[in-house]
Amino acid sequence: MDVKTVCLGMLTDGPASGYDMKKCFESSFGHFFPAGYGSIYPALATLARNGMVEFEDVPQEGKPDRKVYSITDAGRQELQKGLSNPEPTHKVRSEFLATIWFAHLMEDEQIDAIVDNKLSEIEGFLKMIDEFPDCDCDQVPKGAQFVAGFGRHMAASFKAYIESNRDVLTENKPVDVKLAIGS
């Protein structure tokens, strides 16, 4: 599963341009599967070359032309192939944790700044998804509901762990094992 597969998936909702897809990555997808122009445009070019998508040039007044992509039947088959892996990965790449690992090489002030910044970032994220509420809940596909709930849950969990254990990094406390192990 790569960006190509996700683009195909997005196109099952209807035709879209690369720019549209970028916005979709920014708003929802990007939180668990980020992608920028540098991967979206090459992905679309490859998909078009292989007949998985078709595109139409749509001129606009006062705005640049749009290249609007649609999924083909071959594309739908390819998408099924992309979704058929029974062991999809789930990877974290965290400069935050890598930095904190080396806390013993850092000043307490540095550590506190990093932790504070990360906490407010998470709080911002939680606020954002709670302001954008379960509006038209019946229209949203079950998978999207599940994933959105997952994001909310994990962010809250992230916040709780940091708040309970940040003392370990600057004072001399051991980690709160109960919280670490508990559900």
Q: Which of residues 112-141 bind DNA (CB under 7 A)?
A: none
Phi and psi at residue 66, to the nearest 5° = -110, 140
Cα separation of 129 and 131, whole Å?
Answer: 6
> Residue 75 and residue 52: Cα distance in Å, rounded?
4
- The nearer residue to DNA, 43 or 155, going by C-beta atoms, is 43
Q: What's the closest the beta carbon of residue 132 comes to a copy of itself, in angstroms?
A: 14
Q: Which option in a copy of itself, DNA, none does residue 131 bind, with CB closer than 5 to 8 A by kind?
A: none
* 159: nearest Cα among 126, 111, 114, 113: 126
Applying CB under 7 A, which of residues 31, 54, 67, 118 lies at the interface with DNA?
67
- Count of residues near DNA by CB under 7 A: 31
Interacting partner of 19 out of DNA, a copy of itself, none (Cβ under 5 to 8 A depending on kind):
DNA
| CB distance 131 to 125 below 8 Å | no
Q: Is 22 in the site for DNA (CB under 7 A)?
A: yes
182 binds DNA (CB under 7 A): no
Two tokens at 77?
A: 């088959």
Q: Which residues contact 98 (CB under 8 A, 6 or more apart)?
A: none
Show contacts with DNA in window 80-99 (CB under 7 A). 89, 93
Nearer to DNA, 37 or 146 (CB): 37
CB 21 within 8 A of CB 40: yes
Distance CA 156, CA 78 (A): 36
Residue 19 binds DNA (CB under 7 A): yes
Q: Which is nearer to a copy of itself, 61 or 95 (CB)?
A: 95
Site map (CB under 7 A) of DNA, residues 26-55, x = contact? --------xxxxxx-xxxxxx---------
- Picking from 45, 56, 6, 62, the residue whose alpha carbon sits closest to that of residue 29 is 6
Q: Could you say which of a copy of itself, DNA, none residue 139 binds, taking C-beta under 5 to 8 angstroms by partner kind?
A: none
- The owner of tokens 């099952």 is 12
Residue ranges binding DNA (CB under 7 A): 2-4, 17-20, 22-23, 34-39, 41-46, 60, 62-68, 89, 93
